[in-house]
Amino acid sequence: MSSFSLIIGVDEAGRGPWAGPVTAAAVVLDPTRPVEGLTDSKKLSEKARDRLAPLIRERALAWSVAEASVEEIDTLNIRQATFLAMQRAVADLFRTVSDKSGQNRTRPGTAAVILIDGNALPADLPAPARAIIKGDLTEPCISAASILAKTHRDAQMASLCISYPGYGFSGHKGYGTAAHAEALARLGPCAVHRQSFAPVRALLRHC
């Protein structure tokens, strides 16, 4: 990867939950300002993620976080909505780099590569891209993106917990835990539940 002047790591958070947006982050790390302890966000405690996220934002050359909404998830499906969030994060990062440099250093054809965690790539990315299975464990820039995406989404779910009390979003973050299933059965789906997901759709049929 040394032939590329910009190595952009991309990862997502929130594909599996029954509620809330899916989030993606894109990060260009600064090799002169390393961040120790980067790995897959799922391997880290919440405390460790919350410690690392501000360091990443402070030391990275550029970073961006973007979302696809619950409505977009239900309209497109979760796979395509995840790709949409990734496309938005990358596009926002490119604009950030362009604004900082005074010129678009990352326009197509320049020395940039996008590394995406997983086994598939979104379409229409503005630079060459590679999908890397378990890339959040092997590529520090993807690990950093994983942490930013996860901490951003967790903060969003904590906010939704205030707006939609009773569901416990700040605890389970929208994932299909027993506590979430109980709250969903007791209260019914709310506006931020993914109606296309089977557990929510099943309840909607009986509403």
Alpha helices in the chain (DSSP H): 46-59, 70-76, 78-101, 135-138, 140-163, 169-172, 178-187, 198-205
The closest alpha carbon to 117, from 19, 3, 26, belongs to 26
Biggest CA–CA distance in the chain, Å, is 58
Is 74 a known ligand-binding residue? no
Sequence-ordered list of residues with C-beta below 8 angstroms from that of 58, at least 6 positions apart, any chain: none
Contact 127, 8 (CB under 8 A): yes
Residue 130 DSSP SS3 = strand
Is 117 a known ligand-binding residue? yes
Is 12 a known ligand-binding residue? yes
Q: Specify binding-site residues for a divalent metal cation.
A: 11-12, 117
Q: Specify binding-site residues.
A: 11-12, 117
